[in-house]
Amino acid sequence: WQSSAGGRCRWYKDGLNTVVHSTRPVPEGEEAHCFFFSYGCVVMWGMEEEAERMLVAVLKREHSQEPLIQDEVDDFGFVYTKSKPSLHRDVVQLSSNEVQEKLAVSFALAQSAKLGVFEVTVEKTIEETRHLPERMAKDGKIRLKRADATRQIGQLFVDRASINLHSDILEYPDFFWEDDEWLHAYTRVSKYLEVERRVEVLNKRLDIIKELFDMLANELHNSHSSMLEWI
């Protein structure tokens, strides 16, 4: 369909997620391409930085829920070559001007950006709760008021659940089951960005959060049981 900015739009199905592709004219005469992923990422090709910032501001203001305070931004250049599509030294090398090739690369770029958001969330959670197991190892117990312990458990649950609910977006895109012509482009870029390795590390850190959650819940239960016995 035709967008309000004068470009064309088309949507692609990726399992439970959707990708909207939009083109828009640019001063140089060629078309700029934008891929909007339903899990909150946008990959833009051939746009000026100011236009990119304006577009992101509109998306955050009118089309997002709980937008990030600090945007997760990955900046890459791109060139057209006669070699196979790849990502080297932060420059995407495209073998054609095909939209499908840009879409395949965009899948990997969007996954990497979303993964970066998850990594920051998990790192922050672990850092903020690091003192709890250290205090338990030192004193044999956690000195937290019941309300504080309950709040900490709730926050740990929210952080872990928010990532688990969106974990499907870090898996192999369902889109390629229907159209694998440019699968090799996605695979090469995903490997360069170490998406698979980073997902493994993220899952291990989520396990740490779960263990901490269980430890706090157990400590809270024991504290409550002791209070009932004392009464």
Q: Which residues pair with 37 in a beta bridge?
A: 19, 41
Phi, psi of 43 (to 5 degrees): -115, 125
Q: Tell me, what's the pLDDT at 105?
A: 97
Q: What is the DSSP letter of 2?
A: B
Cα 116 from Cα 213, distance rounded (Å): 23
Angle between helices 99-129 and 146-165 (to 10 degrees): 170
**pTM higher than 0.85 for the full model?**
no
Specify the 3-state DSSP secondary structure of 157: helix
Helix (H) or strand (E) holding 199: helix 195-230
pLDDT at 6: 47
Burial per residue of 80-98, b for 16 or more beta-carbon CB atoms within 10 angstroms, e otherwise: eeeeebbbeeeebbbbeee
Amino acid making up residue 58: V
Nearest to 45 by CA among 6, 98, 5, 89: 98
List, in order, residues 6 or more apart from 162 with CB less than 8 Å away: 121
Task: Give the pLDDT of residue 1.
Answer: 46
Tens digits of pLDDT across the chain (231 residues): 444 444 578 889 887 788 999 998 877 667 899 999 988 999 999 999 999 999 999 999 988 887 888 889 999 999 999 888 899 999 999 999 999 999 999 999 999 999 999 899 888 888 887 877 777 777 776 666 667 777 777 777 777 777 776 777 788 888 998 889 999 999 999 999 999 999 889 888 888 878 877 777 777 666 545 444 544
HSE-CB at 69 with a 13 A cutoff on CA atoms is 2
